[in-house]
Structure 1
Amino acid sequence: MVNSPHEAMHQIFRYDLHLFSRLRDVLELPLPDAVKAVVLPNDLTETRPVERRVDTLLRLDSAKDGSLLLAIEAQGKKDPAKPASWAYYVSYLWTKYGLPTALLVVCQDRATAEWAARPVASGPAYMPTLSVQPIVVGPHNMPVITDPAQAAEDLALASLSAITHAGDPDIGAILKALSAALQNVPENLADPIIEFTAQGLSKRPAQDLWRTLVAVDLSFYTSYLAEEIREEARAEARAEARAEGLTEGLTQGSAAAVLLVLEQRGLDVPDDVRARVTGCDDPETLRAWLARAVTAASAEEILADE
C-alpha cells in the first residue's frame, strides 16, 4: 500500500503506465504515444556498496519513435545533493540500457518545482560537461481540474492534479470534483485512486477534507481508507459521548455539592434557589456557588451576583 506523498507522486505512474504520455499538452512536449509501457527494476546499485535507487523507472515503447526510459523522482523539498544523484541515474541508465533516458520530477510546491527545473552542470561554467535539466510536474503546470466530467475522463490525471495542488486554495473544488467523478466508477478502479489521493495529500488540511469526502460522497465503497475513516468517525463519536457524559456527571455532582453544603449548615433552601442550582450546566458558575455556600448567611446569598 502507498504510505506517503513521496510514494504516491511516482507510483501513480506505475499504476497507470500511459499517464506520462497523456501529459503532452501539460508539458508542451511532442511525447510519443506509448504502444507499450513496462516497469523496470529501479535499483541502480553498483557492485560497490553504494545504493542508488530511482523512485520509479519505466520503459516506454512506441511503434513510431522507438523506446525510451523514463526515470520518475518525487521531490518534496530542495536538496542540493539531488542534481548529482539525478545525473548519476540518467548516465547509468543510458549506459546500462543504451536507450534515450528522460527524467521526470514531481513536486507539490512551486518553489521546489522551480528549483528542480533549473539546469545543473557537473563541471565549471566554461566546461559544463554533463548537464541535468529534468522535466518537472508541479502546481505551476498541472491543470486545476474542478469539473467532475473532466475528472472522470482521466481519473489518474485528476488524482495527480489533486496531489500536486495539495496546498492550492482551490484544493476543495479539485477534491470535490474527483470524489464526484468516482461515484459512478467500479470499486476496483476507484479504490487505487482513493488511496493514491489520500496518501499524496499527506498531513495537509486537504487530507482531512478528502477523508471527509470519501466518508460522505463515497460511503458505499468498502476500501481500506473508507473503512478506516468510518472507524475513526465512530471512535470520535464514542469519545465525544464519553466527554459529554463526564461533563454532565461533573455538573450534576457540583450542583448536589452546593445543596449539600447549604443543608449541612442548616440553611433553608427555597425551591427557586434549588431549581437554579440543579438547572445550571456551567461548571464555573457551580464552582463559584459552592465556594460561596461555605460562608453565605443564606441560600439566596450565593446567587446574589447572578
Structure 2
Amino acid sequence: MPTNEHELPLEMVRNRPQLVPEMLRSVFGLDVSTNARATLASESYADTNPAELRCDATVLLGDPKSPVLGVVVESQLRALRQKTYSWPAYLASLRLRRRCPVVLLVLCPDQATARGCAVPIDMGHPGWVLKPLTVHPEMLPPITDPDQARRLPELAVLSAPAHADGPQSEAVLRGLSAAIGSLTGDTGALYHDYVMSRFSDAARKLMEDIVKLDNYEWQSEFALTHRAEGFAEGFRQGFAEGFAEGLAKGLAKGLAKGLLLLLEARGLDVSAGVRARVEGCSDSEQIERWIWRAVSADSAEDLFD
C-alpha cells in the first residue's frame, strides 16, 4: 500500500484518471471536454536504446485507441536537473506511439518545488521550448460541495490541506468528510492518513468536531470501521478509564489506544512486543511522535527507529 508523499498523489491518479483533466481545466484553463473519457495507459515507453523510459503515470483522454490528448503525469518532491532530459523524451515517445497532442503535468507538494519544476526546458531547436505544467495544493480550488467531493474525492483530498485553515475551512472539511465517507476498501484509510498528517492541529480538531456534530452517516466499509474503532473511541475510552488514575495517565492511555488502532487500520502487524511498549509508555509526547511516524511507517517496529 503506497503511503509516501511521492507515491500517493500518483495512486490517486491511477484510482481516478478523471482527476487529471479536472486539474488541467481548473488550474490551467485548458479546453478539455468534461465528458472526455480518461483512461490509464502504459507507463513504460520502449525505445531503440535498450534502457527503458518509464514515467510515473500516463492518462489518455478520449478513445484509448485514438486519444485526443495524452498526459504524462510526474510526481516531484524537488526539482531535478535530469528530469529536463527525461521529460521531453516521455512526451516525444508518447506522441509517437499514440499520434496525438501531449502535455506534461507535474504534481508538487509546495509552491517552491512547483516553481523549480516549471523552469522552461530549451530543446536547442529554435522555438522549441517545453514549459512543464506544475501544480501544488494551493493552486487547486477548495472543494466545498459534498456532491462534487464524492464525485472526485481525490481532488478534495489533495486540495483540503491548502484550504483547511482558510475562510472556507468548515465547508472544505465537510466536503472532505463526504469524500472519504464515499470510498470503499483500503482507499478511505489511505486518503484519511494522508490528509490528516498534513493538517494543522486546529484543522484536525475541526474535522473531528464536524464529523461528530453532523453525525455523518458514513457509507464506506472503511468509514464504518473507523467510526466504530477509530481515534475518537480510543480517546474516549482512554480518558474515561484514566480519570480515576490521573489526567496524565489517562491521556497517555487514550493516545496509546489510538496509535494501536491506527496501526491495525493500516494493516500493519502489531507484535506483542510493540503492543507492550506502546501500552506501557506513560509519556504522551512520545506517543504523539509515534503516531506521526505511524502514518507512513512500513512496519510497526519502524515507530521506534
| TM-score bucket (shorter structure) | 0.5 to 0.7
Q: Percent identity?
A: 20
In the other structure, the counterpart of 1:133 is 131
What one-letter code is carried by the residue in structure 2 that aligns with 1:205?
F
Q: Distance in 1 between matches of 2:99 and 2:149?
A: 33
1:223 to 221, 241, 266: 221
Counterpart in the other structure of 2:105: 104
| 1:205 aligned onto 2:185 | no
* C-alpha distance in 2 between matches for 1:203 and 1:247: 29
1:16 corresponding residue in structure 2: 16
TM-score scaled by structure 1? 0.59
> What amino acid maps onto 2:111 in structure 1?
R
CA deviation map 1:89-120 (0-9, x unaligned): 21222233333221111223122222222312
- Runs of 4+ aligned structure 1 residues displaced above 6 Å come to 190-193
Mapped contact 1:5–1:202 kept (Cα < 8 A): no
> Residue 143 of structure 1: CA displacement?
0.9
Q: How do residues 293-304 of structure 1 correspond to structure 2 at under 5 angstroms?
A: none
Residue of structure 1 equivalent to 2:56: 55
Quick one: which amino acid aligns to residue 192 of structure 2?
A
Distance 2:155 2:34 in 1: 20
Structure 2 counterpart of 1:152:
147
Equivalent residues in 2 for 1:1-306, closer than 5 Å? 1-23=1-23, 24-33=25-34, 35-44=36-45, 50=51, 52-61=53-62, 67-123=68-124, 131-145=129-143, 147=144, 150-157=145-152, 159-168=154-163, 169-170=165-166, 172-173=169-170, 175-179=172-176, 181-182=178-179, 187=182, 189=183, 194-195=188-189, 197-201=191-195, 203-205=197-199, 208=204, 212=208, 216=212, 218=216, 220-221=218-219, 223-224=221-222, 227=225, 230-236=229-235
Between stretches 54-63 and 84-93, larger displacement belongs to: 54-63
Aligned equivalents of 1:226, 1:56: Cα separation in 2: 32
Match for 1:201: what amino acid?
V
Q: Kindly report the root-mean-square deviation, in angstroms, between the aligned alpha carbons of the 2 structures.
A: 4.1
TM-score (norm: length of structure 2): 0.59
Secondary structure of the structure 1 residue equivalent to 2:174: helix
Distance in 1 between the 2:96 and 2:102 partners? 10
Report if the CA contact (8 A) 1:94-1:100 is conserved.
yes
Deviations for 1:133-176, whole angstroms, at most 9, x for unmatched residues?
2222323431123x3xx241353546424414524433843642
Equivalent-residue separation in structure 2 for 1:51 and 1:213 (angstroms): 50
- Flag structure 2 segments of 5+ consecutive residues without an equivalent: 250-305
What is the letter of the counterpart of residue 203 of structure 1? S
State the SS of the aligned residue for 2:80: coil
Q: Which has the larger radius of gyration?
A: 1
Q: Is the 8 A contact 1:37 1:60 kept in 2?
A: yes
Alpha-carbon distance in 2 for matches of 1:151, 1:246: 43
Q: Secondary structure at the match of 2:6?
A: helix
SS of 2:44's partner is coil
Give the aligned residue type for 1:120. I
Change over 3 Å in CA distance of 1:193–1:214 after alignment to 2: farther
CA 181–116 in structure 1, closer or farther in 2 if over 3 Å, else same: same
1:46 CA drift (Å): 5.2
- Are the equivalent residues in 2 in contact too, given 1:5–1:201 (CA < 8 A)? no
8 A Cα contact 2:160 2:172, kept in partner = no
Distance 1:128 1:240, change over 3 A: farther
Q: Secondary structure at the match of 1:4?
A: coil
1:219/1:136 CA distance change after superposition, 3 Å: same
Give the structure 2 partner of residue 270 of structure 1: none
Q: Residues 156 and 193 of structure 1 are in contact (CA less than 8 Å); yes or no, is this contact kept in structure 2?
A: no
Q: How many residues align?
A: 239
User: Aligned partners of 1:102, 1:179: CA distance in 2, in Å?
Assistant: 29
Conserved 8 A contact 1:68-1:99? yes
Residues 224/66 of structure 1: CA separation in 2 closer, same or farther (3 Å cut): closer
Q: Distance in 2 between matches of 1:46 and 1:237?
A: 59
1:4 partner amino acid: N
- Taking a change above 3 Å as real, the CA distance of residues 234 and 35 of structure 1, as seen in their structure-2 partners, is closer
Residue pair 1:138, 1:165 contacting (<8 A) in 2 also? no
